[in-house]
Amino acid sequence: MESIFNPSSVAVIGASGAPGKWGFGIFARLIGGGNDRPVYPVNNRVDQILGVRTYPSLLDIPGPVELAIIVSPPETVPSVMSDCVAKGVKGAVVVTAGFAEVGEKGKAAERRVVEMAREGGIRFVGPNCMGHFNTAADLMTAGEMTGVPRGPIACISQSGNFGGYVIWRGAQMGIGFSKFVSTGNEADLKLEDYLEYLAQDDETKVITAYIEGIRDPRRFFALARDITKAKPVVVMKSGRTSEGARAAWSHTAALAGEDAIHDAMFRQCGVIRVGEADEMFDIAVALVAQPRPRGRRVAILTGGGGFGVVATDACVRLGLEIAELSPETIETLNKYLPPRWSHGNPVDMAGTSNTSYGCMGTLLKAEGVDAVLGMSCVGSPSTVPSGPDVPDAVRKAAEYAEYVADEEAKLVDGLLERVKRHDKPIVLAYAPAGNESPAVRKLNQRGFFVYPTPERAVRVLAHLVRYGEYLASVGV
């Protein structure tokens, strides 16, 4: 696996100088990285590509090659794999399609490639895949991906195109990645192999996966049961319907299986199952940054009554409990809120959102509360205290905006310190000023996403609660 994800040298068989071709995109990404590893283009029709000398075949390369990226036509792949064996290549990524996913003839060709690779001690990704990356090593063979930030989340995808969408969507949400692999047909390396590798990867804190079928359920279950005790695994499993299962088979030759069986297996081994890409990253980021709830009791803080009703319904639907606030907690909230506040949970601030940070801190401290859900509580100038303490010099509009930004940053630091001190999560939804707010930007950067809707925030909280309960059930 290290030869695949962190090789000392790479050859691209089928490298091209024509923009739009896979061989061009992959080679351009590899030589455009910040790593100084040798990258050799193999093409017997031209002398150079992007200013780099080409070689007619892999065997003509003078130095050692640890990783081979194969993007040549399917009929050439067996002979290329033979050259890889002769050259002493350790790992390969077979991007080329046209194997088991197209029928019996393709299956036979795929078996030949696997046999040759195993005889030569080569492990490979694919075929019929979209490549992989390792941001820590500046290695990118997924030719269509650009601007992927480095971070703690890894992604395994049994679909190339959907995997590309997942990474694009994650990056758009401001998420950083450690590693990605499009597994393709999994002729050699399987989903379980990548799962086992990423479990031991120090760069990866949360493993995410898009799965169409599990070829070795017993191994998957045994691995996941051990991995999830130390590192969360979040899975989007497609093929929920009979029609989807048939589509999965024709797509990557995967076996979709009965959805209810997968659901039960995931629950028993601690895997978090999600239904869409945004949900995958909503919870993945929270798993990196947030403490695990010790129970299901939720305190809800809102800038208006309607949010409280929506959030309460969402919590109850997902099995969370609306915490009963103690007299001591209510008395403390009375110091922040006007007499007209709701005096119960949900805590409706009755239009006084400049008290939201004090209220959130009070609820985090409360004995009968396991988690706090805050809506319309951050990201607006009205959340920052004002009055006689505001210097006259900052009362002009432009100067006041700068003052608000500084004050919000201080308040966010204090809020996150309370999260750490009380070891309870706070999940936030809806910021009136959106991501333009300095407070929201800072929260997002620290991994405390402000979700656009109450439902998304509650869904994240429910996942955190269930994962915490799983860990407690296995003694972690």
Q: Mind spelling out the 3-state secondary structure of 214-239?
A: CCCHHHHHHHHHHHCCCCCEEEEECC
Pick the CATH number of 1-127 from 3.40.30.10, 3.10.20.600, 3.40.50.1110, 3.40.50.720: 3.40.50.720
How many Å apart are CA 378 and CA 132, to the nearest integer?
38
CA dist 461 → 160, 266, 317, 318, 425 (Å): 30, 18, 12, 9, 8
Q: Over the stretch 22-70, which tens digit does the pLDDT of each residue have?
A: 999 999 999 987 789 999 999 999 999 999 999 999 999 999 999 999 9
Question: Which residue type occupies 141?
Answer: T
- pLDDT above 90 as % of the chain: 79
pLDDT for residue 255: 47
Q: Can you tell me the mean pLDDT for 106-133? A: 97
Please tell me what DSSP assigns to residue 372: E
pLDDT for residue 8: 97
Q: Which tokens sit at 73?
A: 């036509």
* pLDDT score of 241 more than 50: yes
* pLDDT score of 226 more than 50: yes
Q: Can you tell me the mean pLDDT for 327-347? A: 96
Res. 147 pLDDT band, cuts 50 70 90: confident
What is the domain partition of the chain in residue ranges? 1-127, 147-289, 291-473
Phi, psi of 270 (to 5 degrees): 80, 10
Domain pair 147-289 / 291-473, same fold: yes
Q: Can you tell me the mean pLDDT for 379-404? A: 62
How many Å apart are CA 209 and CA 151, to the nearest integer?
16
Q: Which of 66-75, 201-210, 382-391, 462-471 has the lowest mean pLDDT?
A: 382-391
Query: Which residues lie below 8 Å from residue 180, measured CB to CB, with a gap of 6+?
Result: 132, 133, 142, 145, 148, 154, 155, 156, 157, 163, 167
Identify which has the larger pLDDT, 257 or 295. 295
Q: Using an 8 Å Cβ cutoff, are 36 and 29 in contact?
A: no
pLDDT for residue 246: 58
In CATH terms, the superfamily for domain 291-473 is Succinyl-CoA synthetase domains (3.40.50.261)
Q: Which tokens sit at 398?
A: 């432009």
Q: Mind spelling out the 3-state secondary structure of 67-94?
A: EEEECCCHHHHHHHHHHHHHHCCCEEEE
Query: Which residues lie below 8 Å from residue 146, measured CB to CB, with a gap of 6+?
Result: none
* pLDDT score of 240 more than 80: no
Q: Over the stretch 345-377, which tens digit does the pLDDT of each residue have?
A: 999 998 777 889 999 999 999 999 999 999 999
Tell whether pTM > 0.75.
yes
Question: Which residue type occupies 59?
Answer: L
Please give the class, per CATH, of domain 147-289.
alpha beta
